[in-house]
Structure 1
């Protein structure tokens, strides 16, 4: 390990432009002096650890920072030549570059623990020690190099030897190992005091006053709760008769009265389900004596100012720790909800801490390690962090489903928010089968067009009961390739007769057919939207009047996306909805049936108008097919 820190390393490189600028931090290699104790713990640091253990708001404020930072992933990156972006990761095959980082942090599995301890140490005591040594591993009979993040409380200096209490000890007393001089390396990291940079500092040094006040207020409250003095003194006139504790009638004996009172007061405490907890103690005597029965109190109830002082101390602690106030007080939800954090908060609060740690690792550990491994140009590699797992994305699944039902987002958005990849999207056949199943669950007769999706063949009735199967559309029996009414009359008139034949119509082009199909689709859409608006008015008229104000600005054809339509009301709801269609297209009952089925599906599923769905249903129907 001596070669690892053989000479002074170059100055630390700054972060890539565009990344957060790290706050100043210091680190130094530690050389133990046999005369002077190098590893010390200041008084304020001992107080800080005490408050960390005894004040839950301090504990959680520190754990909040450490927990967020521990979700980052450290990696080895190669510095961008123009330093315009964060360093890209080196290939995983470069074990000579990745190995030192894994040695320091314990690999991917140990990085979280490494960052958690490092951030916690800085938040409480303002400093930490990284101790590296060759750790005997009896299972593999080899010596593995190991690093631990330790506080000054876990280190003890004996001359040039170092005694380390391992942080991951399984025993309550802690497992200690003795590291001989020259058999270990130690790096001290600290947040420098602006006035005296060689000394560490943390917010806990300035919070000793609020923490001390909070502990005293809590002690006062506990003393008042435990003390018997506030209970007061009960004055009992001698003329009153109390029940005898032995059940021998009534008594005026002061000793027996005291015994009875004690039993009456203590029994509900020991046995909450006892009748003594609710049945009052009977006392009899003259009215004047009963009026003289009085309780004298020697102290007030809990001081009303105490709670406000406690709240004030907690707020000061939260402010001093630079943690979100809601994270320490829980005012805007439980502590678990506070772990959901935005990207802006990460950049402002947590990225600087991680940048400091990465800078120290790079300068004081990684570059010397690469030099020892004789890696060319080690300064082109740095340790950096990936924050992808730090921000917990809130669950937007319910909102995405609602937005989809309102027609505001696509189905892929719902899958993304629910965590499903695009390859999980249903095929057209799966979607058709799902739609058929939904209609069956609604108790509706199955449409013949959807029956094959369930393997039921082509039999069945349409969605509306009593409706006849679709009729053949005009031109269905025409010879293949011909459009009825477009073939000229090829008969020749007799000689001398007037040629009364109409002129031959122009040939039907593909563009004309496309325009006709476009107009047919537009007409079908108009009929569907009109039927939805017809149903929307019915829903408004048949629902609570209080709904009308909320739906005032909603288009009538979209009302069904806000109000639920019952399956048994659909016939009444759509009565007369297709009168215009039957007037202008009386010879198209098949198309009308498809439109009606489409409208009923939207009403039952509360989906908005979807032209692509209508076009798909028309294309899959037998209307106009040959």
Structure 2
């Protein structure tokens, strides 16, 4: 059973030379795929390398051949060299492998999806020939012009008279207008003098028919029918995948790979494994060569469904490893933070959850590079002595002027903010984070984060939060509705604006996800 890539150095060295090595492997795979799609068979020829002047052996030569270029006659195999066109007999040391899709009835015959589409291909070819013939035909394009023989035209320089002279006259004017298309003379109509009674008898007959107009539609219908017959998705067969053409659509859905591409790769891998790879490993002295097989790594071309959110949940609940999470989002080992960075990030998140930790000089020095100076508490009196127990409580300066003298106990500064205030403030936070995410989502990144909410883009798109002015630019124009929320809930406008802005700034600076409990502590 396949268990993944091997670490055996000899097995890796052998597979590096499969299909001629990296230099010619892509072209050989293309030739094999086309032959598999159209005639349904391909021959793979391996010619052993010859000894060089230095006594070394050159690498084996690999060739992909169409079935029409290989012949078996008189108990001898021969083939036509694709580079020279010269017919050559198969040498005793040559290895010739046939990879084919068996016909359901006569299984030694090759079959493909193109064979049932041959009548459709003939229709497409004849429609194209019809269009090309009409383009080439002067008669079909221009029709017939009948001129009365009584009309007398002046003699031309070539000596032509009558209708022939008139046609020569018109052709000469047309050629001169093509030579000088930008002049006014090119826009002047052709003038000729003929008797008045001869104007009506001049007739032009158009030979076009209704069928000519429908040929293009017939060809388009034939191409559609062909796309439905081939072993590939319709949009791929017609050269367009969604909004990307066949040059840009290099990724395929996993179902497309399973249905259309995997059968070809399995056949090629089985043939090369059985007739070349395992015999090669045996000659190299690899023990148990039957344990190994050739296969293709398709992780770079298969576009799998976005499982980031599911894996994120599993990672947060310690059900998958950090390596699995990084592999899913495509982060290499070089981007793994060192232990010092990890500890600093954990410390920053802890300070966000409990701001009082920043009072510790060691924490402030680690996070900010300087100590945070704290002013004495508002309840402290001069000299550092605690206030008298019977002293009246200090008035809350954050209260609105209208309520400073009659503030009820449930709205004291130490009371937790009400839940409806938290919910309203969260809308301000989501608005600010959405603006920041929209500014981070530049044009080259569009389409890569379709499953990520806009207010969470700052957690996905890399940026340097410590770069001067970055956070200010991301939050420009935010918090415009803070005053309305403060007025609705009887809070100080400036104080609430400062609290919300500080909270969002901390989220962007530490790249931490929004948490309602943390927001409640900020308020």
Q: TM-score, normalised by structure 2?
A: 0.60
Higher mean displacement: 420-429 or 330-339? 420-429
In 2, the alpha carbon distance for the partners of 1:530 and 1:319 equals 54
Choose which of 232, 247, 259 in structure 2 pairs with 1:323.
Answer: 232
In the superposition, relative to structure 1, how do residues 616 and 354 fare at CA in structure 2: closer, same or farther (>3 Å)? farther
Alignment-derived partner of residue 151 in structure 1: 66
Q: TM-score, normalised by structure 1?
A: 0.52
Choose which of 195, 207, 226 in structure 1 pairs with 2:136.
Answer: 226
TM-superposed CA distance for 1:263, in Å, is 2.4
Alignment-derived partner of residue 105 in structure 2: 195
TM-superposed CA distance for 1:222, in Å, is 0.7
Alignment of 1:291-370 (within 5 A): 291-300=200-209, 303-330=212-239, 332-333=242-243, 334-370=245-281
In the superposition, relative to structure 1, how do residues 197 and 158 fare at CA in structure 2: closer, same or farther (>3 Å)? closer
Higher mean displacement: 363-372 or 285-294? 285-294
Work out whether residues 104 and 146 of structure 1, in 8 Å CA contact, stay in contact via their aligned partners in 2: no
Work out whether residues 278 and 290 of structure 2, in 8 Å CA contact, stay in contact via their aligned partners in 1: yes
Cα deviations across residues 107-144 of structure 1 (Å, max 9, x unaligned)? 45554444333222222222222222223365865333
Alignment-derived partner of residue 435 in structure 2: none
TM-superposed CA distance for 1:102, in Å, is 3.6
2:118 is the counterpart of 1:204: no
Choose which of 133, 141, 147 in structure 1 pairs with 2:47.
Answer: 133
In 1, the alpha carbon distance for the partners of 2:51 and 2:417 equals 81
In the superposition, relative to structure 1, how do residues 185 and 199 fare at CA in structure 2: closer, same or farther (>3 Å)? same
Cα deviations across residues 287-341 of structure 1 (Å, max 9, x unaligned)? 6544444312234377122123212321232223222222232464422354432
Alignment-derived partner of residue 126 in structure 2: 216
2:482 is the counterpart of 1:578: no
In 2, the alpha carbon distance for the partners of 1:153 and 1:270 equals 50
2:293 is the counterpart of 1:382: yes
1:474 aligned counterpart, secondary structure:
coil
In the superposition, relative to structure 1, how do residues 271 and 197 fare at CA in structure 2: closer, same or farther (>3 Å)? farther
2:29 is the counterpart of 1:88: no
* Unmatched segments (≥5 aa) in structure 2: 309-325, 346-366, 391-409, 432-452, 457-473
Alignment-derived partner of residue 501 in structure 2: 597
TM-superposed CA distance for 1:218, in Å, is 0.9
Work out whether residues 230 and 237 of structure 2, in 8 Å CA contact, stay in contact via their aligned partners in 1: no
TM-superposed CA distance for 1:391, in Å, is 1.3
Larger RCO (alpha carbons 8 Å, 6+ apart): 1
Alignment-derived partner of residue 378 in structure 2: 474
TM-superposed CA distance for 1:224, in Å, is 0.7
TM-superposed CA distance for 1:207, in Å, is 2.9
TM-superposed CA distance for 1:342, in Å, is 1.1
Q: Over the residues paired in the alignment, what is the CA RMSD in angstroms?
A: 5.7
Alignment of 1:483-494 (within 5 A): none
Alignment-derived partner of residue 15 in structure 2: 101
Alignment of 1:407-422 (within 5 A): none
